[in-house]
Amino acid sequence: MKHLKKITREELASYTSKRAMELKYGEAVAIMEGDKNLKTYPQRYVLVGIPEDIGVRANHGRAGTSNAWESCLKVLCNMQQNERTYAHELLILGSVDCNLEMEAAATIMDIVKLGELVNSIDVKVARVIETIVSAGKIPILIGGGHNNSFGNIKGVSKVLGKAINCLNLDTHSDFRPLEHRHSGNGFSYAKANGFLKNYFVFGLHSNYTSQQMFERMEQENVNFALFEDMFVNGKNSFSKAKHEAEQIICDEPFGLEIDLDAIAMMGSSAMSPVGFTINQIRNFTYNFSKNENCKYIHLCEGAPTFDLHPNQVGKVLAYLIIDVITTTDNV
């Protein structure tokens, strides 16, 4: 498969600590064998990593999201496979091949030139997404920066032949102007290119949203629920905001984007003491990923470099993956 580095059984074994009387995820989960067609696999969900941080750097952010994929695998492979964790629902495909772009970015400081590399990754991500969705599967993407939202949305839109909706749980709107490509304008580009229809930002922080951005979102009919309204001033509630998002987004095909910087004190390039709890994120991800119109799940912006505790980002990602694949038919 072009633009993809398929994972091998040997790689999974290198991340897995085997133990007698136990079956770990790294031993039980499916991978793509040889040239077998993805459509022939029974697994509903396909896990793919996007190991890059170029989009974050191009947005004046701190590098580190490129390490989230490996951090996730180290934890996920050592989760227990049992009747409640559903490894049979997941196929680990591998990672988008970002090696050339990452090598080039290592010597580039100019953010516009970094944006050119983001364009290259956009193409790769979109094509991998197209392949997975065309096979009737639901991709779970582990970023990487939020720039990859553009490739995710584009890939699904191309398969369906129409614009899709998107629900983004995030501190920021990532709806910045159409300048060079970076992690802050993936949704802007998706909208401008006709791939994105309704867009809802869940948990937007007013303190990090400019007046110009609020005006831009109003002009572009971007919907949002402010974090402060849910948890500070009482103008809204977590449950009411979820219902509002559901009404606007979920009646048509949509993508689910979860930015880890929305979690309080989570290792990310934009780590903040203010944010959702991990259990709130798990509840949110679980509920919206179960909707029949959810076409992909993107877990992004995690940066293990900035973890406050060892394996924090990897463990959160692994928990969220299993929450997603725990389908309503299983529970």
Q: pLDDT band at residue 331, thresholds of 50, 70 and 90? A: very low
Mean pLDDT of 243-253: 98
Query: Which residue is it, tokens 């629902």?
Result: 89
Answer for the pair 239, 138: CB distance below 8 angstroms, yes or no.
no
Quick one: pLDDT at residue 35? 81
CATH number for domain 4-325, candidates 3.40.800.10, 3.20.20.140, 3.40.309.10, 3.20.20.150? 3.40.800.10
Q: How many CB atoms lie within 10 A of CB 107?
A: 7
Chain segment 123-147, per-residue pLDDT in tens: 999 999 999 999 999 999 999 999 9
Quick one: pLDDT at residue 18? 96
| C-alpha span between 178 and 162 (Å, rounded) | 21
Return the SS3 of 266.
coil
pTM given for the model: 0.97
Chain segment 153-198, per-residue pLDDT in tens: 999 999 999 999 999 999 999 999 999 999 999 999 999 999 999 9
Chain segment 39-79, per-residue pLDDT in tens: 999 999 999 999 999 999 999 999 999 999 999 999 999 99
- Sequence length of the chain is 331
Four-CA torsion 24, 28, 31, 34, nearest 10 degrees: 120
% of the chain surpassing 70 pLDDT: 98
Quick one: pLDDT at residue 330? 45
| C-alpha span between 328 and 331 (Å, rounded) | 5
% of the chain surpassing 90 pLDDT: 95
pLDDT of residue 1 exceeding 90, the answer is no
Quick one: pLDDT at residue 328? 56
Chain segment 252-311, per-residue pLDDT in tens: 999 999 999 999 999 998 899 999 999 999 999 999 999 999 999 999 999 999 999 889
**Cα–Cα distances in angstroms (integers) from residue 218 to residues 211, 214, 223, in the given order:** 11, 6, 8
Of 261, 326, 263, residue with least CA distance to 300:
261
Of 53, 73, 245, 88, residue with least CA distance to 168:
245
Alpha-helical regions (H) of the chain: 9-15, 25-28, 54-57, 68-76, 99-105, 111-134, 149-160, 186-192, 211-219, 227-231, 238-249, 278-289, 312-325
Query: Which residue is it, tokens 């005006």?
Result: 215
Quick one: pLDDT at residue 327? 67
Which residues make beta-bridge pairs with 169?
202, 258
Longest dimension (CA), the chain: 60
Quick one: pLDDT at residue 329? 57
Helix/strand/coil percent split, the chain, to 5 = 45, 20, 35
